[in-house]
């Protein structure tokens, strides 16, 4: 019982020392940057810029919801490829049951992709462009 408490106290002390060191190093870095950094104010220094080019026009650009949906779909399907990579690495250990599970997983992904395609979630055209293309077909 005494030995466990000693180990726990030692581990807690190490954690407190580590936390203190992190806070001290962070404080030194931020304080040093504040003390050694340049302070100047000019008219141009308060303007937003990107890559050295001053922005022109309205900075509040509204993107279509379709853009965000497509980005989310990309992230989802991209993460699924990570799972498939892990499966491919352990293919010999998984055997036939792992292979069948991967086939089921891939088929669910394909069904989801086909569903998204059928409901038009992957279509970037505007309503007007869709109407024009359907009118040009007839």
Whether residue 53 lies inside any domain: the answer is no
Q: Dihedral sign, CA of 32, 34, 36, 37?
A: positive
Whether residue 7 lies inside any domain: the answer is yes
What range defines the domain where residue 4 resides? Answer: 1-36
Q: What is the pLDDT of residue 65?
A: 73
Q: What is the pLDDT of residue 54?
A: 63
* Closest of 59, 39, 37 to residue 49, by C-alpha: 59
Q: What is the pLDDT of residue 23?
A: 97
Whether residue 2 lies inside any domain: the answer is yes
Low-confidence ranges of the chain (pLDDT < 70): 1-2, 44-59, 138
Whether residue 138 lies inside any domain: the answer is no
Angle at CA of residue 112, ends 111 and 116, nearest 5°: 115
Q: What is the pLDDT of residue 113?
A: 87
Domain count for the chain: 2
Q: Give the containing element (helix H, strand E) for 59.
A: none
Whether residue 49 lies inside any domain: the answer is no
Whether residue 50 lies inside any domain: the answer is no
Distance CA 39, CA 5 (A): 52
Q: What is the pLDDT of residue 127?
A: 74
Q: What are phi and psi of 111, to 5 degrees?
A: -65, -40
Whether residue 137 lies inside any domain: the answer is no
Decide: helix, strand or coil at residue 53. strand
**Averaged confidence pLDDT in the chain:** 82
Whether residue 43 lies inside any domain: the answer is no
Q: By the 8 A CB rule, do 84 and 102 touch?
A: yes
């Amino acid at each position: 019982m005494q030995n466990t408490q000693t180990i726990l106290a030692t581990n807690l002390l190490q954690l407190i020392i580590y936390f203190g060191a992190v806070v001290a190093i962070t404080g030194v870095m931020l304080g040093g940057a504040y003390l050694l950094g340049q302070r100047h104010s000019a008219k141009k220094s308060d303007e937003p810029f990107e890559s050295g080019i001053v922005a022109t026009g309205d900075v509040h650009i509204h993107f279509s919801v379709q853009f965000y949906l497509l980005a989310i779909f990309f992230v989802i399907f991209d993460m699924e490829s990570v799972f498939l990579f892990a499966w491919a690495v352990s293919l010999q250990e998984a055997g036939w049951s792992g292979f069948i599970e991967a086939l089921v997983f891939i088929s669910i992904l394909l069904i989801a992709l086909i569903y998204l395609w059928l409901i038009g979630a992957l279509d970037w055209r505007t309503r007007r462009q869709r109407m024009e293309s359907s009118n040009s077909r007839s």
